[in-house]
Amino acid sequence: MIGLIAQGASWSNTQNLHPAGVMMLALASIALFMVKRRHALLPIIFIAMFVTTAQRAVIGGLDFPFLRVLIMLGWMRVFMLGETRRFKMIALDWFTIYWGVGFFIANSIRDGLVIYSCGWMIDNLGAYFLFRILLRSREEMYESIKYAALLAIPVAVAFVFEKVTRYNMFSVFGGVNEITWLRQGKLRCMGSFSHPILAGCFFAGLLPLIGTLWKKSTESKRGRMLCAAGMVSAMTVVICCASSTPLMAAVAGICALVLFAQHKSVPLLRYATLFGLFVLHFFVMEKPVWHLIARIDLTGGSTGYHRYRLIQATIDRFSEWWLIGTTDTAHWGHHLFDTTGHFVNQCTDGGLFSFLMFCGMLFFAFRAVGRVIKYSPEPADKWLVWAVGAGLFANCVSFIGVSYFGKPLVLFLIQMAMLGSLEVAAKRDRYPVLATARRPLRRAGSAKLGTTN
């Protein structure tokens, strides 16, 4: 990840516009305004998969990566078309706001990074609420997943080409290596992503979402073919990245997806897992239970021990970061200045408040899965929300080993927005049923009172 930090520093606030990239952004921008709402996420997904993060414009000292441009244009669209009507806030939305505000205040006070924090707010809060507005119905979500599955196919072809030739065709856009990295004899392909791990985590989180198309397409052979091709393509990208973190995330997401058949037993499984970790931590293992990640190496050359030491150092150095975070972690130990791990970065970047708000977001997101499963009368809603939750779980596994920004963060926020919208829809569908059930009782009571009078 040290190379990732160096690459990020090299393109930040540096204008880099390739003619092909500009043309792709122009077409995506036009499409964003022209298409119906159920297709509005296609331009954003397209740019996320095929254009590197280094493609950006710098205007008046302000940095505008292509994804940020599309998010801002997306807000212009929803206001122009009045698509914010009937938007209802829920607990997940409020915790997302608290998380963003906590990050903004911490970075502004600690380092004076007001402009940077404004850009961060657009990339995170702006993207989340844009997706919450654009993804209101189940059909809109399925349309977005179909496009993601379809676009994953050429991306997988590009990764296989990179694996065979060791040449990254996306290097023309800048920000990625032309010659693929080689670590311990294994090529680590990265495509248009900033790092092989980020590429693998993106498609590991996408795997369960693509899996929703299988049940959606029970009567459509073409739909099932798209589902199979999309899942194979996503898994191909994960394998080409040659990293343990995305491979673990992919396995976790698929296992979570398969558990839908036994979803009624999941609460028992959850408590059993927590009890098992408790026993391991206090009665079995000599080291903390999070030392288990140091023992996992699925591809060779894993840095799980570094992740373990980083988590332990974060706990030991609580007094240094709890208030507004910290940027000084060099004295934490060997190489611990490289704070890989999304959970750890929530602590060091935003302090305890932002970390707790981020955990609150995840809590309410997973709670939405349970609520939709319990209250929604539609089996399709239950399958969809479970698959989105499985994708979110895959991302949570990735958070242990890598810190998200850019493209993987877009997928994570899409999943969070989907869960929020599905919860709102489940509540909307539930209350009319209750009202209909009560109304005959009220009428009967009124008739009885009338005869008495």
Mean pLDDT by 10 residues, the chain (453 residues): 46 89 97 95 97 94 94 97 92 97 95 93 97 93 95 97 96 93 88 94 96 76 90 97 93 94 82 88 89 74 78 93 91 71 93 97 94 84 93 95 91 97 84 46 40 37
Helix (H), strand (E) at residue 18: none
Q: Which has the closest alpha carbon to 240: 284, 299, 292, 289?
A: 299
Whole-number pLDDT of residue 428: 78
Model pLDDT, residue 273 = 86
- Those residues whose C-beta lies under 8 Å from the C-beta of residue 98, and which sit 6 or more positions away, are 353, 357, 360
pTM: 0.90
Helices (H) and strands (E) in the chain, counts: 17, 4
Both tokens of 427, joined, read 């509540």
Helix axes 407-452, 196-216, angle to 10 degrees: 40
Q: What is the dihedral of CA 111, 115, 121, 122, to 10 degrees?
A: -160
Amino acid, single-letter form, for residue 425: A
Residue 267 confidence (pLDDT): 80
Structure confidence at residue 450 (pLDDT): 39
Is 18 within 8 Å of 55 (Cβ atoms)?
yes
At 67 the pLDDT is 96
Which two structure tokens, joined as six digits, stand for 314?
A: 């974060």
Q: What is the pLDDT of residue 445?
A: 40
pLDDT (0 to 100) of residue 3 = 42
